[in-house]
Amino acid sequence: MIRASRGRAAVLLLLMFASGLAVGLAAERYALHRGIGREISSPTRQGRSTIERFADELGITPEQQARIDPILLETREQMSAVFDRVRPEWEAVVDSARARIESVLTADQARRYGALLEEQKRERGAESKHGKEGTSGGGSD
Protein backbone atom coordinates (compact mmCIF):
# COMPACT_ATOMS: atom_id res chain seq x y z
CA MET A 1 0.00 0.00 0.00
CA ILE A 2 2.78 2.44 0.94
CA ARG A 3 4.74 1.48 -2.18
CA ALA A 4 1.73 2.19 -4.37
CA SER A 5 1.31 5.60 -2.75
CA ARG A 6 4.98 6.36 -3.22
CA GLY A 7 4.75 5.24 -6.82
CA ARG A 8 1.74 7.48 -7.46
CA ALA A 9 3.51 10.36 -5.75
CA ALA A 10 6.59 9.80 -7.91
CA VAL A 11 4.49 9.70 -11.08
CA LEU A 12 2.62 12.85 -9.99
CA LEU A 13 5.91 14.58 -9.25
CA LEU A 14 7.27 13.55 -12.63
CA LEU A 15 4.13 14.78 -14.40
CA MET A 16 4.28 18.09 -12.54
CA PHE A 17 7.93 18.46 -13.44
CA ALA A 18 7.27 17.68 -17.10
CA SER A 19 4.32 20.09 -17.20
CA GLY A 20 6.36 22.77 -15.46
CA LEU A 21 9.16 22.21 -17.93
CA ALA A 22 6.78 22.56 -20.87
CA VAL A 23 5.24 25.76 -19.49
CA GLY A 24 8.70 27.03 -18.55
CA LEU A 25 10.04 26.45 -22.05
CA ALA A 26 7.05 28.21 -23.55
CA ALA A 27 7.51 31.08 -21.11
CA GLU A 28 11.21 31.25 -21.89
CA ARG A 29 10.49 31.47 -25.62
CA TYR A 30 8.04 34.27 -24.89
CA ALA A 31 10.52 36.08 -22.66
CA LEU A 32 13.27 35.72 -25.21
CA HIS A 33 11.02 37.16 -27.86
CA ARG A 34 9.84 40.00 -25.69
CA GLY A 35 13.37 40.74 -24.56
CA ILE A 36 15.07 40.69 -27.94
CA GLY A 37 14.59 44.41 -28.56
CA ARG A 38 15.71 45.33 -25.07
CA GLU A 39 18.70 43.03 -25.31
CA ILE A 40 19.93 44.88 -28.34
CA SER A 41 19.73 48.30 -26.79
CA SER A 42 19.58 47.87 -23.01
CA PRO A 43 22.50 47.42 -20.65
CA THR A 44 23.51 43.92 -19.70
CA ARG A 45 24.71 42.99 -16.24
CA GLN A 46 28.09 44.40 -17.21
CA GLY A 47 26.45 47.76 -17.97
CA ARG A 48 26.82 47.52 -21.76
CA SER A 49 24.25 46.51 -24.34
CA THR A 50 24.78 43.44 -26.47
CA ILE A 51 25.21 45.57 -29.56
CA GLU A 52 27.84 47.71 -27.83
CA ARG A 53 29.76 44.62 -26.78
CA PHE A 54 29.54 43.11 -30.27
CA ALA A 55 30.54 46.41 -31.88
CA ASP A 56 33.62 46.55 -29.64
CA GLU A 57 34.52 42.91 -30.27
CA LEU A 58 34.08 43.24 -34.03
CA GLY A 59 35.67 46.68 -34.34
CA ILE A 60 32.53 48.16 -35.94
CA THR A 61 33.16 51.60 -37.37
CA PRO A 62 30.71 54.48 -36.84
CA GLU A 63 29.73 54.21 -40.51
CA GLN A 64 28.98 50.49 -40.13
CA GLN A 65 27.03 51.19 -36.94
CA ALA A 66 24.94 53.79 -38.76
CA ARG A 67 24.03 51.13 -41.33
CA ILE A 68 23.41 48.38 -38.75
CA ASP A 69 21.12 50.41 -36.45
CA PRO A 70 18.22 50.63 -38.94
CA ILE A 71 18.52 46.89 -39.61
CA LEU A 72 18.19 46.15 -35.90
CA LEU A 73 15.23 48.51 -35.53
CA GLU A 74 13.44 47.00 -38.53
CA THR A 75 14.12 43.48 -37.27
CA ARG A 76 12.78 44.34 -33.82
CA GLU A 77 9.60 45.77 -35.38
CA GLN A 78 9.15 42.71 -37.64
CA MET A 79 9.62 40.30 -34.74
CA SER A 80 7.14 42.22 -32.65
CA ALA A 81 4.57 42.11 -35.47
CA VAL A 82 5.04 38.35 -35.89
CA PHE A 83 4.61 37.72 -32.19
CA ASP A 84 1.55 39.98 -32.02
CA ARG A 85 -0.08 37.70 -34.61
CA VAL A 86 0.65 34.48 -32.67
CA ARG A 87 0.26 35.88 -29.14
CA PRO A 88 -3.39 34.78 -28.72
CA GLU A 89 -2.56 31.20 -29.72
CA TRP A 90 0.55 31.17 -27.50
CA GLU A 91 -1.44 32.48 -24.53
CA ALA A 92 -4.18 29.88 -25.13
CA VAL A 93 -1.58 27.08 -25.07
CA VAL A 94 -0.06 28.40 -21.83
CA ASP A 95 -3.49 28.89 -20.21
CA SER A 96 -4.51 25.37 -21.21
CA ALA A 97 -1.33 23.88 -19.77
CA ARG A 98 -1.81 25.77 -16.51
CA ALA A 99 -5.44 24.63 -16.23
CA ARG A 100 -4.43 21.03 -16.89
CA ILE A 101 -1.70 21.25 -14.26
CA GLU A 102 -4.12 22.77 -11.74
CA SER A 103 -6.57 19.92 -12.36
CA VAL A 104 -3.93 17.51 -11.09
CA LEU A 105 -3.07 19.51 -7.97
CA THR A 106 -4.74 19.47 -4.59
CA ALA A 107 -6.59 22.64 -3.55
CA ASP A 108 -3.61 23.72 -1.44
CA GLN A 109 -1.12 22.99 -4.21
CA ALA A 110 -3.29 24.86 -6.73
CA ARG A 111 -3.40 27.88 -4.40
CA ARG A 112 0.39 27.80 -3.99
CA TYR A 113 0.84 27.26 -7.75
CA GLY A 114 -1.25 30.36 -8.40
CA ALA A 115 0.83 32.32 -5.90
CA LEU A 116 4.05 31.15 -7.56
CA LEU A 117 2.74 32.20 -10.97
CA GLU A 118 1.81 35.63 -9.60
CA GLU A 119 5.26 36.00 -8.05
CA GLN A 120 6.84 35.06 -11.38
CA LYS A 121 4.62 37.60 -13.15
CA ARG A 122 5.68 40.37 -10.72
CA GLU A 123 9.36 39.47 -11.16
CA ARG A 124 9.02 39.59 -14.94
CA GLY A 125 7.23 42.92 -14.67
CA ALA A 126 10.09 44.31 -12.59
CA GLU A 127 12.65 42.95 -15.08
CA SER A 128 10.68 44.46 -17.94
CA LYS A 129 10.56 47.86 -16.23
CA HIS A 130 14.29 47.65 -15.52
CA GLY A 131 14.97 46.79 -19.15
CA LYS A 132 12.91 49.73 -20.35
CA GLU A 133 14.68 52.14 -18.02
CA GLY A 134 17.98 51.07 -19.50
CA THR A 135 17.04 51.42 -23.15
CA SER A 136 18.87 53.94 -25.20
CA GLY A 137 15.71 54.70 -27.09
CA GLY A 138 13.10 52.80 -29.00
CA GLY A 139 12.46 49.61 -27.05
CA SER A 140 9.21 47.98 -28.16
CA ASP A 141 6.76 46.92 -25.45
Q: What is the dihedral of CA 97, 99, 101, 107, to 10 degrees?
A: 170
Q: In whole angstroms, how large is the CA radius of gyration of the chain? A: 21
Please indicate whether residue 116 or residue 9 has the higher confidence score (pLDDT): 116
Q: Give the pLDDT confidence of 2-37 residue by residue, as tens digits.
A: 666 776 776 666 666 666 656 555 555 555 555 544
Question: So what's the pLDDT on residue 29?
Answer: 56
Q: Give the pLDDT confidence of 51-108 residue by residue, as tens digits.
A: 788 888 999 999 999 999 999 999 999 999 999 999 999 999 999 999 999 999 999 9
Region 109-117 average pLDDT: 94
Sorted by where each begins, the domain ranges of the chain are 2-133
Question: So what's the pLDDT on residue 83?
Answer: 92
Say if residues 40 and 51 touch (Cβ distance below 8 Å): yes
Question: So what's the pLDDT on residue 124?
Answer: 83
Q: Give the pLDDT confidence of 119-140 residue by residue, as tens digits.
A: 998 988 877 665 544 443 344 3
Question: So what's the pLDDT on residue 40?
Answer: 47
